[in-house]
Chains A and B, each alone.
Chain A
Amino acid sequence: GQSLEQPSEVTAVEGAIVQINCTYQTSGFYGLSWYQQHDGGAPTFLSYNALDGLEETGRFSSFLSRSDSYGYLLLQELQMKDSASYFCAVRVGGTASKLTFGTGTRLQVTL
Chain B
Amino acid sequence: DAGVTQSPTHLIKTRGQQVTLRCSPKSGHDTVSWYQQALGQGPQFIFQYYEEEERQRGNFPDRFSGHQFPNYSSELNVNALLLGDSALYLCASKGTGDMGEQFFGPGTRLTVL
Contacts and interface: CB of A to CB of B under 8 A. Distances in A.
Interface of A: 30-33, 35, 41-45, 47-50, 87, 89, 91, 93, 95-104
Nearest to B107: A42
A98 B33 contact: yes
16 contacts: A41-B106, A42-B90, A42-B104, A42-B106, A43-B90, A43-B104, A45-B103, A48-B101, A87-B43, A96-B50, A96-B55, A96-B56, A97-B31, A97-B33, A101-B35, A102-B42
Contacts of A42: 4, 90, 104-107
Interface in B58-107: 58, 90, 92, 94, 98-107
Contact of A104 (B41, B98, B100): B41
A31 to B, nearest CB: 5
B111 interface: no
Contacts of A44: 104
Given A97-B48, A99-B33, A99-B45, A50 B107 contact: no
A49 B45 CA distance: 20
Given A101-B44, A104-B41, A45 B102 contact: yes
B56 A33 contact: no
Nearest to A44: B104
Nearest to B103: A45
**Of residues B41, B42, B105, B107, which shows the largest number of chain A Cβ atoms within 10 Å of its Cβ?**
B42
Given A42-B90, A98-B48, A101-B42, A93 B107 contact: no
Given A48-B99, A50-B100, A91-B100, A98 B43 contact: no
B45 A98 contact: yes
Contacts of A50: 99-100
A107 to B, nearest CB: 15
Contacts of B45: 98-100
Given A31-B99, A91-B100, A101-B42, A96 B107 contact: no
